[in-house]
């Protein structure tokens, strides 16, 4: 196993002083250590992985140093364009280190959305001609130190990206000390229950990636509702509202609710403008804001620093409101129902979720089949 603090200081001593990316569950220990031991200007949690690559490019241009970009392998899709059209040796030739959490590693049990991505991760790196080495629970801190130095030297020599592919259980445990716990009334799970209780049984729900969809699934099970009313966006972080938009445009007689998160919203914030200028009366956007990447370690987002309502209004949503207490939320949902046009409700919650929270017991194809049948009603 790689000692988390030794790995960090190995990078620092080798000249790496910018860390940027999107947190990942397999990297949560090292991401937490970085957050607690790096100044804000040297550690930026990016909106999405492609943005992190771009921040790294800017850092190298300004300092001649090699940045570290961290991400889950599902984020490879977001970085392919900037890697090949900017970073690549055939273009600007920018050295950087990619620290990639390997979800869906072949032979390791994982959720459906990670299986294909895990299977082709090394193929993608090979096709892009990005050299990589693998870190695992079998890698010692001494070995990881040598690997870090070797990959940094290679990145510098090639003026190109190199990758460290991280298997499950690689880093020693480290708990985030950074205090981003906000004193709010409710947890996300409680809010999801309120939402489901207040909307119609005929309404359509699209839920965002991560814990939110798991909590929604468990509540439906608890209430014996069935799961056909909900499309669980198990992958593709940041795309739930666009799925909801697509449904709403072609099911104008049904109300479509998107249950979104602040991290997902920020990842593809441009979708707000598209929603606002295309959605009809049946599109309802609920953003549950805990200002954290909750499912991958609790690292902060900028959700507490931005005016989500103001942004929504500025791009064309005709109604928006913020709520946090039970009575406020119920009142706002009922107001939202009457709005004729795209509407957004931001609900502020505490971060955190139950340790015994389960996962959906139906697979994505089963979810799709029952959901599409529900849409036919």
pLDDT(181) > 90: no
44 — phi, psi (to 5°)? Answer: -125, 115
Q: Assess whether 216 and 154 both reside in one domain.
A: no
Asked if residue 102 and residue 203 are part of one domain, the reply reads no
**Pair 37, 154 in one domain:** yes
Is residue 172, in this structure, part of any structural domain at all?
no
What is the rounded average pLDDT of the residues 322-333?
Answer: 97
Q: Are 2 and 141 in contact (CB under 8 A)?
A: yes
User: How confident is residue 180, by pLDDT bands cut at 50, 70 and 90?
Assistant: low
Q: Are 182 and 350 in contact (CB under 8 A)?
A: yes
Q: What would the 3-class secondary structure string for the chain be?
A: CECHHHHHHHHHHCCCCCEEECCCHHHHHHHHHHHHHCCHHHEEECCCHHHHHHHHHHHHHHHCCCCEEEEEHHHHHHHHHHHHHHHCCCCCCCCEEEEEECCCCCCCCCCHHHHHHHHHHHHHHHHCCCCEEEECCCCCHHHHHHHHHHHHHHHHHHCCEEEEEECCCCECCCCCCCCCCCCCCCEHHHHHHHHHHHCCCCCEEEECCCHHHHHHHHHHHHCCCCCCCEEECCCCCCCHHHHHHHHHHHCCCCCEEEEEEHHHHHHCCHHHHHHHHHCCCCEEEEEEECCEEHHHCCEECCCCCCCHHHHHHHHCCCEEEEECCHHHHHHHHHHHHCCCCCEEEEEECECCCCCCCCCCCCCHHHHHHHHHHHHCC
Q: Is the pLDDT of residue 179 over 90?
A: no
Phi, psi of 301 (to 5 degrees): -105, 180
CA 339 to each of CA 219, 285, 350: distance values in angstroms, whole numbers, following the listed order? 27, 12, 28
Domain around 155: 4-166
| pLDDT at res. 185 | 86
Residue 351 has pLDDT above 80, yes or no: yes
Q: What mean pLDDT is reported for the chain?
A: 96
Find residue 164's DSSP bridge partners: 99, 133
Q: Do 151 and 223 reside in the same domain of the chain?
A: no
Q: What is the pLDDT of residues 299-313, one digit of tens each?
A: 899 999 999 999 999
Q: Are 240 and 369 members of one domain?
A: yes
Same domain, 152 and 203: no
Please tell me whether residues 89 and 156 are part of one structural domain.
yes
Task: Say yes or no: 197 and 140 in one domain.
Answer: no
In a domain, 357, yes or no: yes
Q: Is residue 37 part of a domain?
A: yes
Check residue 205 and give its pLDDT. 98
Are 238 and 370 within one domain?
yes
Q: Say what the pLDDT of residue 298 is.
A: 86
Confidence check: pLDDT of 358 > 80: yes
Q: Is residue 45 in a domain?
A: yes
Which band of pLDDT confidence, cut at 50, 70 and 90, is reported for residue 183? confident
Q: Do residue 231 and residue 332 come from a single domain?
A: yes
**How many CB atoms neighbour CB 28 within 10 A?**
22
CA atoms within 13 A on the CB side of 333: 25
Cα atoms in the Cβ-side hemisphere of radius 13 Å centred on 196: 26
Give the per-residue pLDDT at 377.
Answer: 84
Least confident of 54-63, 163-172, 180-189: 180-189
Distance from C-alpha of 173 to C-alpha of 4, rounded to nearest angstrom? 7
- CA 83 to the chain's CA centroid: 20
Asked if residue 177 belongs to a domain, the reply is no
Model confidence over 210-240: pLDDT tens digits? 999 999 999 999 999 999 999 999 999 999 9
Evaluate if residue 78 carries a pLDDT over 90.
yes
Decide if pLDDT at 297 tops 90.
no
- Domain contains 266: yes
* Paired strand residues for 53: none
**pLDDT value for 348:** 96
Q: Which residues contact 122 (CB under 8 A, 6 or more apart)?
A: 132, 165
Residue finishing a domain among 135, 166, 197: 166
What does the pLDDT read at residue 137? Answer: 97
Q: What is the mean pLDDT of residues 90-108?
A: 97
Domain boundary among 119, 134, 166: 166
Whether residue 254 contacts residue 282, with contact meaning beta carbons closer than 8 Å, is answered with yes
Are 48 and 22 a contacting pair, CB within 8 Å? yes
* Burial profile 105-132: b = 16 or more Cβ within 10 angstroms, e = fewer: beeeeeeebbbebbebbbebbeebebeb
Report yes or no on 28 lying in a domain: yes
Based on the fold, state whether residues 112 and 238 are members of the same structural domain.
Answer: no
Domains: count for the chain: 2
In the predicted structure, residue 1 carries a pLDDT above the cut 90: yes
pTM: 0.94
Beta strands 299-300 and 292-293, pairing class:
antiparallel
Q: In whole angstroms, what is the distance from residue 76 CA to residue 19 CA?
A: 17
User: Mean pLDDT, to the nearest integer, of 166-194?
Assistant: 89
Distance, in Å, from the CA atom of 252 to the CA atom of 166, rounded to the nearest integer, reads 45
CATH number for position 86: 3.40.50.970
In a domain, 85, yes or no: yes
Same domain, 121 and 198: no
């Amino acid at each position: 196993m790689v000692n988390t603090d030794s790995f960090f200081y190995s990078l620092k001593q080798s000249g790496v002083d910018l860390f940027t990316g999107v947190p990942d569950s397999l990297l949560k220990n090292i991401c937490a250590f970085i957050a607690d031991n790096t100044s804000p200007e040297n550690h930026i949690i990016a909106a999405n992985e492609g943005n992190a690559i771009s921040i790294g490019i800017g850092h190298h241009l300004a300092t001649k140093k090699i940045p570290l970009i961290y991400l889950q392998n599902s984020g490879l899709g977001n970085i392919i364009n900037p890697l090949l059209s900017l970073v690549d040796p055939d273009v600007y030739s920018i050295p950087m280190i990619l620290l990639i959490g390997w979800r869906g590693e072949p032979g390791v049990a994982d959720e459906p959305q990670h299986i294909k991505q895990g299977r082709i991760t090394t193929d993608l790196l090979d096709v892009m001609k990005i050299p990589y080495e693998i870190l695992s629970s079998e890698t010692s801190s001494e070995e990881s130190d040598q690997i870090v130095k070797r990959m940094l030297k290679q990145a510098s020599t090639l003026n190109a990206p190199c990758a460290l592919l991280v298997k499950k259980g690689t880093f020693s445990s480290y708990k985030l000390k950074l205090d981003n716990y906000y004193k709010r009334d409710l947890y996300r799970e409680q809010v999801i229950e309120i939402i489901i209780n207040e909307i119609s049984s005929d309404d359509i729900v699209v839920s965002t990636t991560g814990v939110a969809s798991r909590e929604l699934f468990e509540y439906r099970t608890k209430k014996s509702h069935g799961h056909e009313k909900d499309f669980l966006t198990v992958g593709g972080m940041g795309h739930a509202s666009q799925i909801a938009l697509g449904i709403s445009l072609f099911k104008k007689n049904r109300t479509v609710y998107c249950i979104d998160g602040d991290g997902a919203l920020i990842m593809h914030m441009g979708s707000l403008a598209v929603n606002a200028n295309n959605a009809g009366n049946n599109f309802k956007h609920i953003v549950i804001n805990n200002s954290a990447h909750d499912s991958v370690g609790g690292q902060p987002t900028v959700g507490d620093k931005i005016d989500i309502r103001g942004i929504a209004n500025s791009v064309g949503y005709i109604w928006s409101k913020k709520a946090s207490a039970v009575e406020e939320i119920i009142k706002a949902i009922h107001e939202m129902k009457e709005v004729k046009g795209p509407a957004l409700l931001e609900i502020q919650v505490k971060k955190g979720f139950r340790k015994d929270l389960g996962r959906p017991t139906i697979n994505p194809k089963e979810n799709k089949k029952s959901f599409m049948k529900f849409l036919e009603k």
